[in-house]
Structures are given as C-alpha cells and as structure tokens.
Structure 1
Amino acid sequence: MYLVTFRLDPGEYNAEFHDLNDAIQAAAEDTEGYLGKRTWHAPEGEELLVVYYRESLDGLETFGADADHEEAKQRWTVWYDAYEITVTEVIESYGSGFGDDADPPA
C-alpha cells in the first residue's frame, strides 16, 4: 500500500477551484487501486493534510496524468499559498484498529 500525503497551506478558493477539485476527486476514486482518503486540519493554523491510500504506484501514475489533475498542478498558485506531496510505501501497519474508521478507509 502507498500513502500520498498532500500538505497544503490554503489560499483563496473560488467556484472554479471547487469544480476542479470535485472533478479531481472523482478521477482519483475512478482510478484503479484507490482505497480512500483522510483529511486533517491543523488545530493551530490553516495547514491541511490530505492522505490518499492507494494499492500501487501504477494507479498513482495514471491519476497523476489525469487532465484535470494536470491543470490543477499547473495552477496551484491561484488557490494555495504552499503545498508539498510525499509518497510513502507502507511496510507494516499494526494496532488495535479503529472500527469503522480503520485505515485504509473503506
């Protein structure tokens, strides 16, 4: 399993952002190997973390080439003050579990 962490400092969102964001989320969900996502907001500021769960790098590469996703990557300065992407391979995961909120999200 792979985790793709999208760390961002949001700027100003407009209707165009929301439309593009919805299209990107739909493309992510439709790409083979998508397992779900989790979102966290920093309690002390605006920073946001979105973690996407994927089965393979192949699906991630396919999603990365999506036309809406490509457009958003080119125009990030319109909506974000800063961003960072981290791709992590999960070697092991263990613990007591979280019931319906267990990772990866269903």
Structure 2
Amino acid sequence: MFLVTFRLDPGTYDAEFHELNDAVQAAAEDTDGYLGKRTWHAPESEEVLVVYYWASLDALESFGADADHREAKRRWTEWYDAYEVTVTEVVESYGSGFGDDPDPPA
C-alpha cells in the first residue's frame, strides 16, 4: 500500500477551485487501486493534512496522469499559500482500537 500525504496551507478558494477539486476527487475515486482518504485540520493553524491511500504505485501513477489532476497541480498558487506532497510505501501496519476494519476509509 502507498500513502500520499498532501500537506497544505489553504489560501482563498473560489468556485473554480471547488469545481476542479471535485473533479480531481472523482478521478481519484474512479481510479482502480484508490482505497480512500482521511483529512486532519491542525488546531493551532490553518494547516490541513490529507492522506490518500493507494493499493499500488501503478494505481497512484495512473491517477497522476489524470488531466484534471495535472491542471490542479499547475494552478496551485491560485488557491494554496503552500503545499507539500510526500509519497510513502507502507511496509507494515498494525494496532488496535479503530474497530474491526483495519482497511483505509472508502
């Protein structure tokens, strides 16, 4: 499994952002190998972390080729003050206390 952590400092969102953001999320969900996402908001700042879960690097690369996703990456300065992406391969995952389903969110 691969995780993509998208860390962002939001700027100003307009209608065009929301339309493109919705299209990018739909493209992710339509990509074979997309497993879900989780979002966290930092209590002391406006920073946001979004972690996307992917079954394989091939799935992630397939999503990366999506035209809406590429457009959003080109236009990031219109809507974010800063961003950072980290791609991580999960070697092992374990624990308890989050219910019976250890899989990422759908």
> Which category of TM-score, normalised to the shorter sequence, fits these structures?
over 0.9
- Please give the root-mean-square deviation of Cα atoms over the aligned residues, in Å: 1.3
Matched, 1:33 2:33: yes
TM-score normalised according to structure 1 size: 0.95
**1:1-106 to 2 correspondence within 5 Å?**
1-99=1-99, 102-106=102-106
Q: Deviation of residue 94 (structure 1)?
A: 0.6
Cα distance in 1 for partners of 2:98, 2:47 equals 25
Q: Deviation of residue 100 (structure 1)?
A: 6.8
SS at match of 1:50: strand
Q: How many residues align?
A: 106
Provide closer, same or farther for how the CA distance between residues 97 and 90 of structure 1 changes in structure 2, counting only shifts above 3 A.
farther
Q: Which runs of 5+ in 2 are unaligned?
A: none
| Counterpart amino acid of residue 54 in structure 1 | W
Provide closer, same or farther for how the CA distance between residues 45 and 94 of structure 1 changes in structure 2, counting only shifts above 3 A.
same
TM-score normalised according to structure 2 size: 0.95
Q: Which runs of 5+ in 1 are unaligned?
A: none
**4+ residue stretches of structure 1 with deviation over 2 A?**
100-103
